């Protein structure tokens, strides 16, 4: 028994040493075993390890091959293929072509080698402009290298376009400045930058880029017009709309009633009390603050052309800005959700990035959303293009709050401005945002 136990322990000890030796060898060759979704003790398979090593190799090689352009790849592959084909088929002329192609790649490497040290500042005069205005920008480039820097190109991406500047040879401590203008033909949110330096060879085989700044957002706001302070008179009641709820203190007087212990004596009607011989107090109808609900469809099916959509955004922006200045309760709802109305700047920024999409819901669904979320609105102003028919507007009106006044602005280029009654709603045909103040004055008289 003793000899058997001793032999068993020796065998177990030898097996443990062998297992430890195998584990150490595997760790040196493949690394530590990683935990996975299968559990903490799961060891990656051979294919998982190979995939990980290929990913690491790609990360290592990517910086070296990233400067190669499309023409560079063609030249490189042509050179290798020509040399291999020439050696196989004994074509000396083809070998010469391959060697020449590889020599061109080698010469191109000399143009992009070397470190560049710049300190670049990107500055926009204004980060918010109105569509049609030019946004001015400035880049200031300082040489931070101890040696002379070779000429290079500086690129400033502006949206989908790229502005290019030629940078001359710079001595240590030199400064170079360039001023550029950004035309704003349409409403948008443009990303300006990051500023990058570019070094390339004359054949454009290699192109090396280095980013030096962070991007800056430029908001191109829609055109808006200033409205008179009385524009919110469309609601009829500047203090609010009265309800059937009675209260002890408000603005709209309702009737007199007997005094009850606890009533505010400021509202005791002394003449009636003297006449009846008992205290009488005033009773009021509770008023609610006027709520303006603005809605705009962002479905291209609701507009005949992009100009109608841009006019609708300008009209909505003008109404929203005036409501914010008048400190009214206002909400702006689109086919994709609500826009921030905490301030004029935030509203215009949101309108700058508003785009239409075929996936967005149409006018009828927008009315349904406003009726569900803005049940207490006193004035609803919606915007849609000429493809929305009056019949669709009538059906959409049934989904909106019953107590609200509903106005639908329908932009139509080169059309005559007019107001049309659609039951208890009104459809306004507008040609341009400049006609909005005149239209509002006519609506106030109705």
The CA–CA distances, whole Å, from 371 to 23, 132, 146, 406 equal: 69, 36, 68, 11
Q: Residue 153: its pLDDT value, please?
A: 87
- In this structure, are 298 and 430 located in the same domain? yes
Mean pLDDT of the chain: 82
- In this structure, are 205 and 247 located in the same domain? no
Give the DSSP H or E segment for 50.
helix 46-65
In a domain, 421, yes or no: yes
- Between CA 427 and CA 409 the distance in angstroms is 6
- In this structure, are 252 and 359 located in the same domain? no
In a domain, 69, yes or no: no
In a domain, 86, yes or no: no
**What does DSSP assign to residue 343?**
S
More confident residue, 270 or 60: 270
Of the pLDDT bands very low, low, confident and very high (cuts 50, 70, 90), residue 302 is: very high
Q: Residue 257: its pLDDT value, please?
A: 80
Overall average pLDDT of the 369-379 stretch: 90
In a domain, 40, yes or no: no
Q: Mean pLDDT check: name the lowest of 20-29, 382-391, 435-444.
A: 20-29
In a domain, 103, yes or no: no
The domain spanning residue 177 has which CATH number? Answer: 2.60.40.10
Rounded CA Rg of the chain: 37
Of the pLDDT bands very low, low, confident and very high (cuts 50, 70, 90), residue 204 is: confident
Count of domains observed in the chain: 4
Range picked from 209-213, 267-271, 351-355 for highest mean pLDDT: 351-355
Of the pLDDT bands very low, low, confident and very high (cuts 50, 70, 90), residue 18 is: low
The contacts of residue 2 (CB under 8 Å, 6+ apart) are none
Q: Mean pLDDT check: name the lowest of 67-76, 238-247, 341-350.
A: 238-247
Q: Residue 16: its pLDDT value, please?
A: 61
Of the pLDDT bands very low, low, confident and very high (cuts 50, 70, 90), residue 199 is: confident
The CA–CA distances, whole Å, from 14 to 19, 28, 95, 133 equal: 9, 21, 61, 84
Model confidence pLDDT, tens digit, residues 154-166:
999 998 888 888 8
- In the sheet that holds 425-430, the strands lie side by side as 337-339, 329-334, 291-296, 379-383, 405-411, 425-430, 418-422
- In this structure, are 295 and 284 located in the same domain? no
Q: Is 343 exposed, middle or buried (0-12, 13-18, 19+ CB in 10 A)?
A: exposed
Structure tokens at 340: 């921030």
Q: Mean pLDDT check: name the lowest of 16-20, 36-40, 148-152, 303-307.
A: 36-40
- At 69, is the secondary structure helix, strand, or coil? coil
């Amino acid at each position: 028994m003793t000899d058997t136990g001793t032999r068993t322990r020796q065998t177990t000890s030898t097996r443990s040493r062998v297992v430890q030796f195998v584990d150490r060898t595997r760790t040196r060759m493949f690394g530590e075993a990683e935990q996975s979704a299968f559990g903490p003790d799961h060891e990656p398979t051979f294919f998982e390890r190979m995939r990980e090593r290929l990913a690491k190799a790609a990360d290592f090689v990517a910086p070296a091959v990233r400067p190669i352009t499309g023409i560079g790849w063609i030249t490189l592959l042509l050179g290798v293929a020509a040399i291999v084909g020439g050696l196989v088929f004994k074509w000396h002329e083809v070998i010469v072509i391959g060697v020449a192609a590889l020599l061109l790649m080698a010469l191109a490497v000399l143009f992009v080698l070397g470190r560049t040290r710049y300190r670049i500042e990107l500055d926009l005069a204004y980060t918010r402009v109105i569509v049609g205005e030019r946004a001015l920008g400035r880049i200031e480039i300082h040489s931070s290298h101890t040696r002379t820097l070779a000429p290079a190109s500086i690129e400033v991406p502006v949206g989908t376009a790229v502005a290019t500047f030629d940078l001359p040879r710079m001595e240590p401590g030199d400064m170079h400045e360039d001023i550029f203008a950004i035309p704003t033909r349409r409403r948008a949110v443009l990303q300006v930058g990051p500023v990058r330096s570019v070094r390339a060879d004359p054949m454009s085989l290699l192109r090396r880029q280095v980013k030096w700044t962070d991007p800056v957002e430029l908001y191109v706001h829609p055109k808006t017009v200033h409205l008179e302070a009385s524009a919110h008179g469309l609601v009829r009641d500047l203090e609010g709309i009265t309800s059937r709820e009675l209260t002890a203190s408000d603005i709209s007087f309702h009737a007199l009633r007997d005094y009850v212990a606890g009533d505010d004596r400021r509202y005791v009607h002394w003449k009636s009390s003297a006449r009846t011989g008992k205290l009488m107090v005033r009773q009021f109808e509770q008023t609610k603050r006027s709520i303006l609900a603005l809605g705009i469809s962002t479905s291209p099916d609701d507009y005949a052309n992009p100009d109608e959509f841009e006019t609708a955004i300008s009209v909505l922006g003008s109404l929203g800005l005036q409501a914010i200045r008048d400190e009214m309760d206002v909400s702006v709802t689109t086919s994709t959700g609500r826009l921030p109305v905490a301030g004029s700047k935030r509203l215009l920024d949101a309108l700058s990035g508003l785009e239409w999409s075929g996936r967005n819901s149409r006018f009828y669904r927008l009315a349904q959303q406003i009726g569900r979320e803005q049940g207490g609105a006193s004035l609803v102003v919606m915007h849609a293009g000429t493809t929305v028919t009056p019949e669709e507007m009538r059906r959409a009106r049934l989904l909106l709050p019953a107590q609200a006044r509903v106005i639908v602005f329908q932009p139509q280029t080169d059309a005559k401005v007019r107001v049309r009654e659609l039951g208890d709603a009104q459809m306004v045909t507008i040609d341009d945002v400049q006609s909005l103040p005149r239209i509002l004055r006519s609506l106030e008289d109705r």
